[in-house]
Structure 1
Amino acid sequence: MYPLFFLPFFIVLSSCSVVGVRTTQELDYQVIKVYGEYELRKYNDYKVVQTTAGGSYEQASSKNFRKLFKYITGNNQSEADISMTAPVKLQSVTIDMTAPVQIQSVEDRGGEGRYSMQFVLPSEYQGENAKKAPLALDPSVTLSVVPASRVAVKRFSGILSEKAVASQENLLRDWIRQEGLTPLGRVSSAGFDPPWTIPFFRRNEVMFRVEIDSREGEKQGEE
């Protein structure tokens, strides 16, 4: 289930309904291949704000989220309030937060580890405007550009939890293997909906960056 620390995030996402209808701006990508709940996507580079914390999945997520939430509510050099819903007009700067919130394990230590969390910045801070994103006042919160990549994704519904992510990761690894792809790095998980959305209608994803065989890449480039 979703911890209470996500409550402010879900309040500002209140435009989402109990059946998963979303109005939040989402990161653009190109779908290369679809097979049921699985997709191979192409992402261009994009700007994120991120931080890292230690502990269990839930503990680290709580620490990370609080820091990032402070950033989007004014703890940045421009003192800009950054909304997660689109559009919201504010006194200083109007910024639309982009879904989803992404979580990734960066180190394992026997049941505990370190996890990074990213908020994807909206379109007005992408591309040529990436340098306009306000810097964080907290030195542990940083801005970075995620390089362009090919990503294998499995979409699933239900409650997003550490156990669910582990189960879906195994299924995604199997599909990646069947497709002749090579997973890179660690799995990332993403949630798109507030907790009052009926679990069956929730959109969750697990994803791996993948390396594509050069011949396969040439073939896909011709499509």
Structure 2
Amino acid sequence: MTAAEKKRREMRETIRDASIREFARNGLAGTSTQAIADAAGITKAQLHYYISSKEELYQEVLRYIVEQWREIFFLAASPEDPATAISRYIEQKLKHALEYPDISRFFAREIARGAPEMSPHWCGLRKAVEEASGVINRWIEGGKIKPVDPLLFQINMWAVTQHYAEYEAQVRVLMNKAADAPLDDGRIIKEATTLFLLRCGLTEEGMVS
């Protein structure tokens, strides 16, 4: 990679991160290209050198989020060991939500308004869910976990792990944590992991006797 290519990639990442913050706070309609440029520390003219419109940028961010989540949180990554796969999924998902809450808020805002921009991205998400459901069904058929509804099990894990980003202000009040204080991720991860392992008849060590 040449120095020019590296610089261009870094600027695209800066713009993407700035747009995530702005879109998460104000949505697509409420975000201007000037606001994105200001958040990225560049001029509006410089921004438009890299993007043609905020709508194009919004789609780019959606694609980035969907692809990133699929790579990091795919439940089928450890199909042979349900306790490990579920524990790893919850830990990675919660750590990501706590470290990058604006990504979760961006996505939640899009879904809350009816997901009008998600049409190009549903196929990839649905495929990932279907593959993970297949893994869960094989765990059930093999007697590795108690019967669960594979789809709802995934939706419930998603809901719990996303909560700490989407409702961070409420979580901080209830946990008596100041805005600049780190949340107790170890406590949160342990409770969520235990919740979903027990639903499957598991502990971190394996099947409940």
Which TM-score band (shorter chain)?
A: under 0.3
* Bigger proportion of residues as helix: 2
Give the TM-score, by structure 1 length. 0.25
Give the TM-score, by structure 2 length. 0.26
Larger Rg: 2
* Bigger proportion of residues as strand: 1
